[in-house]
Structures are given as C-alpha cells and as structure tokens.
Amino acid sequence: MGEGFKLPVLNGLGKTNRIDNWWSQPLIMGTGLTITLIYTFWRLFIYDLEISYHLNGSTVVSPLFSPNILEWELFSLNEWAKTAPNWINAAILIIWIPFGFRGTCYYMRRVYYRSFFASPAACWVDEPQINKSLGYKGEKMVFIINNLHRYFLYAAIIILLIKWWDVTHTMHFNDGFGISIGTLVMGIEAFLLSMYVTSCHALRHLAGGVLDRWVSGVSKLRGKMFKKISIINRSHGFWFWASLIFVFLGDLWVLAVNKGYLSDIAIFVI
C-alpha cells in the first residue's frame, strides 16, 4: 500500500529541505536533560551532604531529597538509617519514583525520542541510518514499559502529598508559626510539581477520558474533571520543565545556605 513513485526523502541524519534552525530545540532540550542527569548523579552518589538546614527550629530539605524518609520514625526508618551502608541516602531510595514518572511521561517521551534517539530530531528531518536498519518498532520492545506510566503516577501523587507536608515543616519555628525564604522555595517547588502531576495525560484519562458518556452523578463529575484537566494539560510541557528546573534551583539554594553563601531568614512569624 502507498506504493508508486515517491520523491526521495533525503537520507541520513539531519538531512532536510528545511532552511530554519530546526536543530536548536532538540539541542537545548537534550543539553538540559543531560545536565540534570549529571547533576542528579553527582548529588546522589558523590556529594550527598548538606541536604537540609535548620532555621530557628524549622527544617528546610532540598527538593531533590524531599521526602527525607531516612528521618522518619515510621517503620523505624530513622533507626535503620544509622546502620545502613553510608552510601544510602533518602534520594537514592525514592529516586525511582520521580525518575520512572518523568521517564514514562508522554511529554518527556517526546523530548527524549527527539533529542536522544533522533527519531525524529525534528519534523521533516531525516533519521540516522541506524534507526532504519534496526527496524523501527515505535513504542514496543523496551519502550513497552511506558505503558505503566499510570502506576508511576499513583506513586508520584503520594510523594507529592508528602512534599506538601514537608513544606509545613519549614513553618514551625521555636517562637511560633511563620514563613521563611525556605518555605517559599519548597512551596513553589511543591506547587509546580502539583501542576505537573495534575496536568498528566494519564490522570486526564483516568479522571474522565476513559468514559464515553458523562451523563449524571459521578460520571458527570468525571466529565467536568476531564474538562478542567484538559485545560492545564495543554501546558503540560511547561509544567514539566518548570517543576524540573525548580528541583535543582531548590537544591542549589539549600547548598548555598549550608555553605554560608546565602542565608535564610524568617519573613514573618506569628
């Protein structure tokens, strides 16, 4: 099917008739992701000190290491932490959740297929020969794991709730309740992550998209949720990057305070 003489598509990586800077977007996004990967690796495995600080009784944890489950009394995790090998840190234990969640995210998939697999690097730009000789299979083979995105979503929702709870820890001062710069940093991070999670395609489907009819009662409510999620779903990519970047800004902030380059203050206490 679709047979007959066709104009040849220019063969080879990056071959195209386009005359604009098609390579800039995959390049920028690919570089961004690579930097976040390297930074995360450094922070998790090489330099996992200074992950939180205290300000007058409140605790601010770096977003990369929140929730810091090794400080929990639940299941005596804090006791276990003392005996655990010392390369273990909170982030290493839970990183698979944000990693799995982002890694199977429909938006992220677009970014890495384009930037890392050049499949395609940009629209109407030819793919490297190897993509063709390997035989294109789409989202089958190893990429079949992407179908489990919704399970990572469930786990991410739990993490998100704990993150909000961690935000409240930044607000208990010795002399009352208040807000510090650390509260803002963690609060913004939690907010951006909430937007990223609630604009998720799988959530949109599970909330209401799965139904064909939204007639009355619960199904109508689910239809309304579908409509609301659809609105923010349009900017899912924006929330992806905003929340990702803020994790690292937050971590840098915590590092800088620990090192004494910057200092946190309570903005007000009541």
Partner 1 sequence: MSLKGKKQSFRILRGDSENSSMEDFEIELDEGMVVLDCVHRIQHEQQADLAVRWNCKAGKCGSCSAEINGKPKLMCMTRMNDVVAETPENIPIEIRPMKSFPLIKDLVTDVSWNYEIAQKIKPINGPDEKNWEFNQMEADRVQHFRECIECFLCSNTCHVLRDHDLFDNFAGPRNLVRLAQFEMHPLDKEDRIPEIKKDFGVEYCNITRCCTEVCPAGINITDDAIIPLKERVVDRYYDPIKMIWRKITGRK
* Segment lying near partner 1 (by CB under 8 A), choices 2-10, 38-46, 51-59, 83-91: 2-10
What does the block give as tokens for 233?
């779903």
**54: amino acid identity, one letter:** H
Question: Which two three-digit tokens encode residue 30?
Answer: 């690919």
Partnered with residue 269 across adjacent β-strands are: 178
Task: Please calculate the CA angle 137-121-130 and round it to the nearest 5 degrees.
Answer: 50
Number of residues that bind ligand FES (CB under 6 A): 9
Give the nearest distance from C-beta 26 to partner 1 in angstroms: 10
Q: How far is the CB of 239 from partner 1 (least distance, A)?
A: 14
Q: Which stretch binds partner 1 (CB under 8 A): 82-90, 172-180, 209-217, 259-267?
A: 209-217
238 binds partner 1 (CB under 8 A): no
Distance, CA of 122 to CA of 130 (rounded, Å): 17
User: Which residues does 17 contact at the CB level (< 8 Å), separation at least 6?
Assistant: 10, 124
| Helix (H), strand (E) at residue 61 | strand 58-61
Number of alpha helices (DSSP H) and beta strands (DSSP E) in the chain:
11, 5
Out of 72, 106, 191, 238, the only residue in the binding site for partner 1 (CB under 8 A) is 106
> Residue 105's binding partner, choosing from partner 1, ligand FES, none, with beta-carbon cut-off 5 to 8 A by kind?
ligand FES
Give the nearer residue to partner 1 in terms of CB position, either 7 or 270: 7
Burial of 118-138, coded b for 16+ CB within 10 Å and e otherwise, reads bebbbeebbbbeeeeeeeeee
Residue 29, both tokens: 């996004």
Binding partner selected for residue 81 from ligand FES, partner 1, none, CB under the kind-specific 5 to 8 Å limit: none
* Binding interface with ligand FES (CB under 6 A): 105-107, 149, 153, 200-202, 236
Binding site for partner 1 (CB under 8 A): 1-9, 16-20, 106, 109-110, 113-114, 119-120, 123-124, 126-127, 131-132, 136-140, 143-144, 147-150, 201-202, 205, 209-210, 212-215, 223-224, 227, 233-234
